[in-house]
Amino acid sequence: MNGQNDKIRIESEPFRQFTSALYQGAGVSKADADAVSGMQVDTDERGVFSHGTRALSGYVRGILNGEINPKPTPQVLTDAPSTALVDADNSLGHVAGIYAMNMAIEKADTTGFASVAVRNSNHYGAAACFAMMALPKGMIGFSTTKTGGASVVPHGGMSGLLGNHPVGYAIPTKTELPIVLDMAVGQIAWGHVGTYAMEGQQLPPGYVLDAEGKPTQDPRQASGMLPFGGYKGHGLAIVMSILSGVMTGGPAACNRTEETPPDLARRGHFFFAIKVSNFCPLDEFTEAVDAEIRTVRNAPRAEGVERIYLPGELEWLHQQDALRNGIPLHPTHLKSLATLADELGVEVFWR
């Protein structure tokens, strides 16, 4: 089953309630369950299916297997006017990310710039979700995370060694859509590789290597992810690893061993918020960003190009379509959620 025609349209609001119920069935508090499921459904609406509810079954099974703490008590290990380090108590990554980004925003409201690092956490979904939390406050948001494994091939290498860390920025605007950049340092995120495999599609050439270090387009044979832009993605992978891994007190993904303590081996995150008005009037800033957006959008287009998009614009268009017509989800994905729901005694509303 391939393509959009095989997908099933699911309404957002009942889907939020359903996915929240799955988390609650695993012992997560309603407040945290609503927050995590809401963020994941938003991600699906934006068309980033690799980082939305497709990952939910893995998170919930992690809780049921005792690998993730459903009711964490985060601890602030170091605290200063514009910085903090948080131990997430092995929480769901979204819970830790929301907690830390809110802290960064609150601190930045006083100091103008604030950063918060997190350790002892788990996969947190799409980096953009946390960066966008700064937008309503007239702030620029940033988010990155340490990945679970060493999977990106160093420039010139043959096998995965670096983490496929995301780089997420959100920049406020006046009347245009906000600038939202969320990209992996590899050619694509590994979650996208899983989506290609689920949909039975081949990867574009030049994205991954197999276990022997040879190029492949078969997502099921993918072993190492090539960095985007060659040495540029290679360099960003190292920097993001330092921010989200080394800065949180743990090793980079390539240096993690069986002897690494669990709280340092788990995911680390790094967030910051910048209060624009501490640098220039917010109206002037957002008007200038709007002007840049319009200039780029109206630039001369190459032959065959109908429109030049800004970062985050395609996701916004996906979200508007999903809100009108439902979220297009693959039957295999929905089947995995239904199986989990049956195990937890949660009603599957789309049957």
Tokens 């830390």 -> residue? 100
Range list of β-strands (E), the chain = 8-10, 75-80, 83-87, 113-121, 139-145, 166-171, 179-184, 208-209, 215-216, 224-225, 267-275, 327-329
Has residue 2 got a pLDDT over 50? Answer: no
Name which of 262, 277, 321 is nearest 108 in CA terms.
277
Q: Please tell me the least confidently modeled range out of 144-148, 171-175, 209-213.
A: 144-148
pLDDT at 4: 54
Do both 164 and 263 map to the same domain?
A: yes
pLDDT of residue 1: 34
Query: Quick one: average pLDDT of 220-230?
Result: 94
| Judgement on whether residues 180 and 258 belong to the same structural domain of the protein | yes
Check pLDDT > 90 for residue 6: no
Mean pLDDT, rounded, for 170-192: 94
| pLDDT for 258 | 86
| pTM score, whole prediction | 0.93
pLDDT at 347 over 60: yes
Residue 33 lies in domain: 1-71+315-351
Question: pLDDT over 70 for what percent of the chain?
Answer: 99
Same domain, 12 and 159: no
- Are both 170 and 94 inside the same structural domain? yes
Q: How confident is the model at residue 239 (pLDDT cuts 50, 70, 90)?
A: very high
In a domain, 215, yes or no: no
What pLDDT, in 10s, does the model give residues 60-91?
Answer: 999 999 999 999 999 999 999 999 999 999 99
Of 272, 287, 302, the domain-final residue? 287
Q: Residue 345: left (phi > 0), alpha (psi -120 to 50), or beta?
A: left
The per-residue pLDDT of the chain, averaged, comes to 95
**Predicted local distance difference test score (pLDDT) of residue 221:** 95
Over residues 201-219, the mean pLDDT reads 94
> Is the same domain home to 89 and 171?
yes
Residue 297 forms part of a structural domain = no
- Give 277's contacts (C-beta < 8 A, 6+ positions apart): 138, 285
The count of domains in the chain is: 2
**Whether residues 51 and 78 fall in one domain:** no
Q: Are 69 and 91 in contact (CB under 8 A)?
A: yes
Between 149-163, 228-242, 262-276, 277-291, the lowest mean confidence (pLDDT) is in: 149-163
Distance CA 264, CA 119 (A): 7
Mean pLDDT of 142-156: 90
Q: Are residues 67 and 101 part of one domain?
A: no
Is residue 218, in this structure, part of any structural domain at all?
Answer: no
Burial class (CB in 10 A: 0-12, 13-18, 19+), 351: exposed
Report which of residues 42 and 6 the model is more confident about: 42
> Do 58 and 82 sit in the same domain of this protein?
no
In sequence order, what DSSP letters do the residues of 44-99 get, joined into one string?
HHTT-GGGTGGGHHHHHHHHHTTSS-SS---EEEEEETTEEEEE--S--HHHHHHH
Mean pLDDT value across residues 288-317: 97
Q: Collapse the DSSP code of 14 into the 3-class scheme (helix H, G, I; strand E, B; otherwise coil) and give the result.
A: helix
Domain boundary among 246, 272, 287: 287
The two structure tokens encoding residue 161: 């060694």
Q: Residues 247-269: what's their mean pLDDT?
A: 88
**Which residues is 182 bridged to in the sheet?**
168
